[in-house]
Structure 1
């Protein structure tokens, strides 16, 4: 079997906040009529430059056409040579590599009649505990909005939440006080996610202020500036919770292990460049005696299904994970979205082939966009995916 063609289709899917995220749907065609689909998830983040979709399509065709899709390692090596790691977790080359790798697993799974989880080593779980994100408070008036988000999601079955913290500590405190009073044992906060906004000393002071609220924390996420391995090691010694950090390159993971900077590796295919890289990062974490959590950039159902297959195959996935992207959007591009049940992401059935997602062409046409440009969109909007009114 050989790859004969590639299609990239940009779509803009609105969030419930009003912000429109742009993603790229991947279609790989073969000489045997089997098609693989993937997702280059969430180009709506910094850095602000936009890829030229036509040029990207031509470049990827030059790498992929004529290849045997089962040569996943070889293709990943060639993709990495053309879209190298940049030590930054929103590097868009990683998004590109992830979308292609995802489509390869979907294609090979369909050809063999097995699910992607089987290609990743087999599944050891059928569902993955997940949390719903509470986005960063910039203003005190946003506390009411976020409490209402929790109310709605608790009714839906979610009982674990992740708080993006550190921009407005006073507002974070107001939220946590109301959260504990209103929800009590009905819900808990998995983590305070500082997203590299603060230096480790500032983050440590913020944690001391927020830690007075009993919310069931599992971890503290990204409580230092990007690639500050020493800072992470320092704060790890000063707080009572495990420290987690996203993995976005082999070199970065090596440095984190070398300096014993963290306890939990936050692994997401989109940041590390695909399912292949994510699986490798999880094995490295296991060898280092570290736990894992599945991270997210808030994918659509294709990308989320891929993470479900990955998580189903991981021995050291021992914390609440993050992939709830499809619940943040008002629409999707597949016929049947991934399923959440009582706060769990269900792994697609063993009876499906590949990723288990089927495109809805009418939805793709409805949400198709011409490019990935962002123009005058503000930094705050790109960081937190907020609407114009909150700029």
Structure 2
């Protein structure tokens, strides 16, 4: 089997907040008329630049066409040469490699008539506990809006939430107080997520202030790549510390400094299922737990994470992939499903990732480029509406 062509299609899909996230749908075609699909998820992130889709298509075709799609390691090596790790959380090269790697896994699973979970080692679980995100408070009036989100999502079966914090601690405290008073032990806060907005000393002060309320862990409580600061925070706090993995050098430094308790691993941030499996294995060797992170993918990207998570032995904490629940639409005929706060792994009876493209929806959301004009930095950080000030 040989790869004969590549097609990239850009879609812009609104979140429930009104923010429009742009994604790239990947199709890798072969001489045996099997097509693998993947997703370069959520390019609408900092750093504040966009890519030329025609140039990207040409570069990727030069790497892929003529290759055997089962040569995943070889292809990933070539992709890394063209789109190297940059030690940055939202590095767009990782997003690109992730989409290609997912499509290769989908293609190989389809060729073998097995699911991706079976292709990468088999299933340990058929569903993954997930949390719903509550985005960062900037103003006190947003507290009631976010409490209403908890009420509505709790009715849908979500009983664990992740709270982005650090912009307005008065509002963060008011929200946590409101959740505790209204829901008690029926609702859990998985984490306080600082997203690298504060240095470790500021984050430590914030956590001490909010420690009157129950939460399971603290995420990203230091500036990016401050491994010593992350360690200092960890040894001074009672809660376990989690951090995303966005390069193998960064993961090595976190292991060397003993900076974290839990590695937040997501294919989008480390460059694909292949690399995410390596990162999870490194965590296991280091005696660390894992959870699945997210940039809030559509169903293709979320399905890839579900297959990955189903095969990990050290996935021991509540994970984050609830992206399809945050958007007003999707681009597949059979979106991933959630049940009682769990992400269901696509059926083993469906080969590959188990996703079928819906071209009616794709054409509805299709856009020409990845640029987003005058969207402000705080909108990119907090995923708020382009019209909300």
Bin for the TM-score computed over the shorter chain: over 0.9
Counterpart of 1:372 in structure 2 is 370
1:360 CA displacement? 0.3
- Asked if structure 2 preserves the Cα contact closer than 8 Å seen for 1:267 and 1:292, the reply is yes
Return the alpha-carbon distance in structure 1 between the equivalents of residues 8 and 261 of structure 2: 38
Equivalence map 1:323-334=2 (5 Å): 323-334=321-332
Return the alpha-carbon distance in structure 2 between the equivalents of residues 337 and 144 of structure 1: 30
- Asked if structure 2 preserves the Cα contact closer than 8 Å seen for 1:48 and 1:374, the reply is no
Return the alpha-carbon distance in structure 1 between the equivalents of residues 387 and 355 of structure 2: 35
Return the alpha-carbon distance in structure 2 between the equivalents of residues 240 and 351 of structure 1: 44
1:295 CA displacement? 0.1
- Asked if structure 1 preserves the Cα contact closer than 8 Å seen for 2:89 and 2:224, the reply is no
Return the alpha-carbon distance in structure 2 between the equivalents of residues 4 and 228 of structure 1: 44
Count the aligned residue pairs: 389
Does residue 168 of the first structure (1) align with residue 173 of the second (2)? no
What are the Cα deviations for residues 275-319 of structure 1, in whole angstroms up to 9, with x where unaligned?
A: 000000000000000000000000000000000000000000000
Secondary structure at the aligned position of 2:236 is classed as coil
1:388 CA displacement? 2.7
Which runs of no fewer than 5 residues in structure 2 stay unpaired?
none
For 2:221, which of 216, 220, 223 is the aligned residue?
A: 223
Return the alpha-carbon distance in structure 2 between the equivalents of residues 245 and 2 of structure 1: 38
Counterpart of 2:26 in structure 1 is 26
Structure 1 runs of 4+ with >3 Å offset:
none
Return the alpha-carbon distance in structure 2 between the equivalents of residues 352 and 287 of structure 1: 32
Counterpart of 1:202 in structure 2 is 202
Which runs of no fewer than 5 residues in structure 1 stay unpaired?
none
Return the alpha-carbon distance in structure 2 between the equivalents of residues 185 and 173 of structure 1: 17
Return the alpha-carbon distance in structure 2 between the equivalents of residues 326 and 44 of structure 1: 16
What are the Cα deviations for residues 129-150 of structure 1, in whole angstroms up to 9, with x where unaligned?
A: 0000000000001001100000
Does residue 113 of the first structure (1) align with residue 113 of the second (2)? yes
Normalised by the size of structure 1, how large is the TM-score?
0.99
Normalised by the size of structure 2, how large is the TM-score?
0.99
Counterpart of 1:178 in structure 2 is 178
Equivalence map 1:213-252=2 (5 Å): 213=213, 215=214, 217-252=215-250
Return the alpha-carbon distance in structure 1 between the equivalents of residues 386 and 179 of structure 2: 27
Secondary structure at the aligned position of 1:8 is classed as strand
Return the alpha-carbon distance in structure 2 between the equivalents of residues 5 and 24 of structure 1: 16
Does residue 63 of the first structure (1) align with residue 63 of the second (2)? yes
Q: Give me the CA root mean square deviation.
A: 0.6
For 1:265, which of 263, 266, 279 is the aligned residue?
A: 263
Return the alpha-carbon distance in structure 2 between the equivalents of residues 40 and 275 of structure 1: 12
Counterpart of 1:103 in structure 2 is 103
Equivalence map 1:256-335=2 (5 Å): 256-335=254-333
Counterpart of 1:343 in structure 2 is 341
Secondary structure at the aligned position of 1:331 is classed as coil
Secondary structure at the aligned position of 1:293 is classed as strand
Return the alpha-carbon distance in structure 2 between the equivalents of residues 21 and 301 of structure 1: 14
Return the alpha-carbon distance in structure 1 between the equivalents of residues 151 and 54 of structure 2: 43
For 2:360, which of 359, 362, 372 is the aligned residue?
A: 362
Secondary structure at the aligned position of 1:388 is classed as coil
Counterpart of 1:42 in structure 2 is 42
1:44 CA displacement? 0.7
1:390 CA displacement? 2.6
